[in-house]
């Protein structure tokens, strides 16, 4: 009977959830779905100095937002690496007992001194195997090192093919620190073995760890998993995305109003391309088409502008009811820019179709409609100065105001008033709208003008025009 494929995603809770980690999680999730396998979420929380429960919850929330959680039978976890601490030490002791590992009392300074004395200070200043045959046992400050065998180690990678490592370039690496705590290499392998992991899909930065981990797997009597190392994400300068330098937090993009479906679709195009002429496609189709063998070897550019474009497409594809519902967090509650009592859901529903076709992020919606829910808009000074700079601006706005006092207050009638004033002064509609838009909305850009004015009503519109004219004077 064939073994059920078991994939794992093992983030460390040391900060906000990285978009690169999100893509890796999606790769593993899709592969689990394709094979009717299992996606194992393991939180590698052994770094007490950096771990924070807040970051753990952030990972869980972000994954759930992307549709990766316990609501699906393919999901297991979360498991916590710290719960396996005793197993890590037991595995280390087993390796020592069988001669695959040995204790060493050299400090970092000792290692560097030996390199200098041997004339190799300008070469790779790694550990030279000094304690291999000293027969040391455990003791305070002594690390446990793995005895790297001679020859080479070949890693069969589903993305990169056969990758050979010369073992002579790999120093006897540490398994247990001087305080008996396990290092990442050991803990990671023991957890994978314990949890029955069959496939490890992760970022290419971990590829140098693969031969070391493969050695540990076999020394513990197990065949290593199937490896796949996918390209990292880079910024515009083609530098690896950094939490300290770049905007990388999934949570931040979610707060800005990136849709989960858009985020999933965009991340899956980074390093892999679906068939067809468009990259915009349902996640179900991506799931059906995705292959590790088709993943590019080169780093993938995380283009925020392109992601925004993806999001705009997804917003436009929503039904009106879906769009209104998605906007609600930005229109009500803590995110709202106005007093709760001033918000009118019916008014927003009227203007929503005009807004939906013009935003890339949901967080941009309030700035397009806020003038509808305040007494007077906050006028952008730069926009005001530019719009009212022409000599005709004030004169024509007065005439438009006069027309608005008597005309039917419908979009078509309002437009007809402005067009008539434009004909009188030989001004095109677009130019003539500029001071009117700033007066009514406070800014120079927004949805089509006459529908919102009709929603605002005659009294409020005239009040705003009067305020703008007074400001001009």
Which residues are designated catalytic?
A: 243
Q: How far apart are CA 308 and CA 59, in angstroms?
A: 22
Contact 157, 164 (CB under 8 A): no
Phi then psi for residue 458, to 5 deg, are -65, -50
Give the residue ranges of DSSP H helices in 238-380.
Answer: 250-256, 260-268, 283-289, 304-317, 320-331, 345-356, 365-369
Closest-CA residue to 468 (of 436, 423, 430):
436
Rounded to 5°, angle at Cα 186 from 181 and 190: 110
Vertex 11 angle, CA 84 and 185, to 5°: 55
- Tokens coding 358: 């013009």
* The two three-digit tokens of residue 317, written as one number: 């594809």
d(CA 228, CA 231): 10
Question: What DSSP string describes 437-455?
Answer: HHHHHSSS--S-SHHHHHH
**Cα–Cα separations (whole angstroms), residue 457 to 168, 236, 341, 451, 464:** 80, 47, 18, 10, 11
- H runs (alpha helix) in 176-233: 184-194, 209-219
**Run of H or E including 5:** none
At residue 202, the 3 state secondary structure works out as: strand
* Residue 276 backbone class (left: φ over 0; alpha: ψ -120 to 50; beta: rest): left
> Of 193, 19, 256, 86, nearest to 27 (Cα)?
19
Strand partners, 157: 161, 227
Gap between the Cα atoms of 56 and 77, Å rounded: 12
Q: CB-hemisphere CA count at 13 Å for 58?
A: 22
Whole-angstrom distance, CA of residue 460 vs CA of residue 372: 9
HSE-CB of 171 using CA atoms within 13 angstroms: 14
Calculate the dihedral angle through the C-alpha atoms of 47, 52, 55, 57, rounding to the nearest 10 degrees.
120
């Amino acid at each position: 009977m064939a073994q059920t494929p078991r994939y794992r995603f093992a983030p460390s809770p040391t900060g906000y959830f990285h978009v690169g980690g999100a893509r890796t999680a999606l790769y593993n999730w899709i592969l689990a779905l394709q094979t009717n396998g299992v996606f194992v979420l393991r939180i590698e929380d052994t770094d007490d100095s950096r771990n924070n429960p807040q970051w753990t919850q952030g990972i869980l929330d972000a994954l759930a937002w992307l549709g990766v959680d316990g609501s699906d039978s393919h999901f297991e976890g979360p498991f916590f690496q710290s719960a396996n601490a005793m197993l890590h030490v037991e595995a280390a002791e087993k390796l020592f007992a069988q001669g695959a590992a040995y204790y060493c009392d050299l400090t970092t300074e000792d290692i560097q001194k030996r390199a200098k004395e041997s004339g190799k200070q300008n070469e790779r200043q790694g550990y030279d195997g000094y304690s291999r045959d000293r027969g040391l046992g455990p003791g305070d400050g002594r690390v446990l090192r793995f005895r790297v065998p001679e020859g080479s180690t070949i890693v069969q990678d589903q993305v990169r093919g056969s990758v050979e490592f010369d073992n002579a370039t790999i120093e006897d690496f540490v398994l247990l620190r001087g305080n008996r705590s396990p290092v990442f290499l050991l803990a990671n392998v023991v957890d994978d073995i314990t949890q029955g992991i069959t496939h490890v899909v992760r970022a290419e930065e971990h590829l140098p760890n693969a031969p070391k981990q493969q050695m540990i797997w076999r020394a513990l009597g197990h065949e290593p998993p199937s490896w796949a190392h996918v390209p990292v994400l880079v910024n515009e300068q083609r530098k690896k995305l950094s939490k300290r330098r770049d905007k990388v937090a999934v949570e931040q993009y979610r707060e800005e109003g990136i849709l989960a479906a858009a985020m999933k679709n965009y991340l899956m195009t980074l390093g892999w391309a679906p068939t067809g002429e468009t990259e915009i496609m349902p996640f179900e189709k991506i799931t059906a088409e995705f292959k590790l063998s088709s993943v590019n070897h080169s780093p993938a550019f995380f283009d925020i502008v392109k992601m925004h474009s993806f999001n705009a497409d997804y917003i436009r594809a929503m039904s009106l009811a879906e769009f209104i519902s998605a906007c609600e967090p930005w229109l009500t509650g803590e995110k709202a820019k106005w007093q709760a009592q001033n918000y009118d859901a019916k008014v927003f529903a009227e203007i929503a179709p005009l807004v939906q076709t013009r935003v890339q992020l949901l967080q941009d919606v309030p700035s397009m409609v806020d003038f509808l829910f305040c007494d007077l808009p906050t006028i952008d000074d730069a926009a005001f100065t530019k719009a009212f700079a022409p000599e005709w601006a004030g004169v024509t706005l007065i005439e438009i105001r006069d027309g608005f006092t008597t005309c039917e207050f419908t979009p078509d009638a309002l437009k007809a008033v402005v067009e008539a004033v434009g004909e009188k002064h030989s001004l095109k509609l677009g130019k003539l709208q500029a001071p009117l838009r700033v007066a009514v909305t406070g800014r120079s850009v927004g949805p089509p003008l006459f529908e919102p004015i009709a929603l605002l009503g005659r009294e409020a519109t005239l009040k705003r025009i009067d305020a703008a004219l007074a400001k001009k004077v």
